[in-house]
Amino acid sequence: MTDGPATNLVIRPAVRSDLDAVLRLMQQDGIGPTTPRSATPSARQLEAFAEIADDPREDLLVGELDGTVVATAHVTWLRMLSADGGLYCQVENVRTDEVHRGRGLGGDLMAWIESAARERGAARIQLTSNRSRLDAHRFYERLGYEPSHLGMKKYLT
């Protein structure tokens, strides 16, 4: 983690008006089951956003440059019996706009999340990354993350 932000990225909780930008960022990599992108979020996406926004164990974050959303991450706080009842910080859907990659924005976003995890006393931060996202793997490894587990998924839809 750096001593301070490398960029002028402003990180804050997402609000409803950010949803289009968050979905646009998530669509950029084209990985996994996706809903075809339309001009407006679906009813299910709106419902999911409202549920996430109302849950104190969930943080949907956005990073802004000059008022434009250019990064996002979804953080879930999990209380576990392991780690002596420890708190885990689960990070998913980390995205930086493809035109802004390589400028340190993702690093600043992840540093912000690590700081929040330390403030809450989390035992660890964990994340998953699609096997095909080799650049993302190198990015996480540069930040000190280790490929310690094998993740498995079973899609039900």
Q: What angle do CA 53, 9, 71 make, to 5 degrees?
A: 50
Give the number of other Cβ atoms within 10 Å of residue 112's Cβ: 19
Distance in angstroms (rounded) separating the CA atoms of residues 140 and 135: 9
User: What was the pLDDT predicted at 34?
Assistant: 52
> For the domain 10-142, what is the CATH code?
3.40.630.30
User: What was the pLDDT predicted at 152?
Assistant: 87
Distance in angstroms (rounded) separating the CA atoms of residues 53 and 13: 8
**CA-based end-to-end distance of the chain:** 38
For 28, the token pair is 């950029």
Distance in angstroms (rounded) separating the CA atoms of residues 140 and 131: 13
Digitized pLDDT (tens) for each residue of the chain, 157 residues in all? 334 466 799 999 999 999 999 999 998 877 655 555 555 789 999 999 999 999 999 999 999 999 999 999 999 999 999 999 999 999 999 999 999 999 999 999 999 999 999 999 999 999 999 898 999 999 999 999 999 998 888 989 8
Q: Which residues contact 136 (CB under 8 A, 6 or more apart)?
A: 94, 129, 130
Domain ranges of the chain: 10-142
pTM of the model: 0.89
